[in-house]
Amino acid sequence: MEKTIIGRKEKIDLPEWNIIAINAKIDTGAYNCSIHATSVKEVIKDNRKELEVILLDPEDERYTGKTININNYKIKKVKNSFGQIEKRFLIKTMMTLGGQQFKAGFTLSDRGKMKNNVLLGRKILAGRFLVDVEKVNLTKAE
């Protein structure tokens, strides 16, 4: 399969969450993808654990304030940018990048002080994409 060349930043779609053309920073040093969550609560509904998540900040134009309920998730140990181990929730959703749609895992974290709400790690890049660090938005989200 021929790999698509992407830039250091790309616009992606997360259709299951109604997030379209959001900026994502490509981070080949990170294993998983990460997305900013304003609120994350583990709750029990119908005797099952479930996550209630609100993504992005109110200042972000793609912010809806809508609570997303997620039944299928894991708790993952992740090394943060300071080298410290944190426990984070890992959730999966469909993602579109460069005309390709596939399932991607995202850890939920507080990225409120960061420039980018979304990071794309090497797990979803491997076998699909090559990164040209001198360019941005080579794929143009559909």
| pLDDT the model gives residue 111 | 81
CATH number of the domain within which 122 lies: 2.40.70.10
Is there a domain that residue 119 lies in? yes
Whose structure tokens read 């895992």? 105
Q: H or E segment at 92?
A: strand 85-97
pTM of the complete model beyond 0.75: yes
Question: The domain containing residue 97 runs over which residues?
Answer: 4-35+73-132
In tens, the pLDDT along 61-101 reads 888 899 999 999 999 988 777 788 989 999 999 999 999 99
| pLDDT the model gives residue 9 | 96
**Is the pLDDT score of 141 beyond 60?**
no
How is residue 124 annotated by DSSP?
H
Is there a domain that residue 121 lies in? yes
Would you state the structure tokens that stand for residue 141, as one six-digit string? 């989200």
Number of domains in the chain: 1
| pLDDT the model gives residue 142 | 41
| Alpha-carbon span 79 to 112, nearest angstrom | 18
Would you state the structure tokens that stand for residue 87, as one six-digit string? 């426990």
Give buried/exposed letters for 16-35 (b at 16+ CB in 10 A, else e). ebebeebbbbbbeebbbbbb
In the chain, where does DSSP find H-type helix?
A: 122-125
Would you state the structure tokens that stand for residue 80, as one six-digit string? 């943060």
Average pLDDT taken over every residue of the chain: 91
| pLDDT the model gives residue 97 | 96
Is there a domain that residue 68 lies in? no
**Is the pLDDT score of 18 beyond 70?**
yes
Is there a domain that residue 111 lies in? yes
Is there a domain that residue 138 lies in? no
In the chain, the amino acid numbered 43 is V
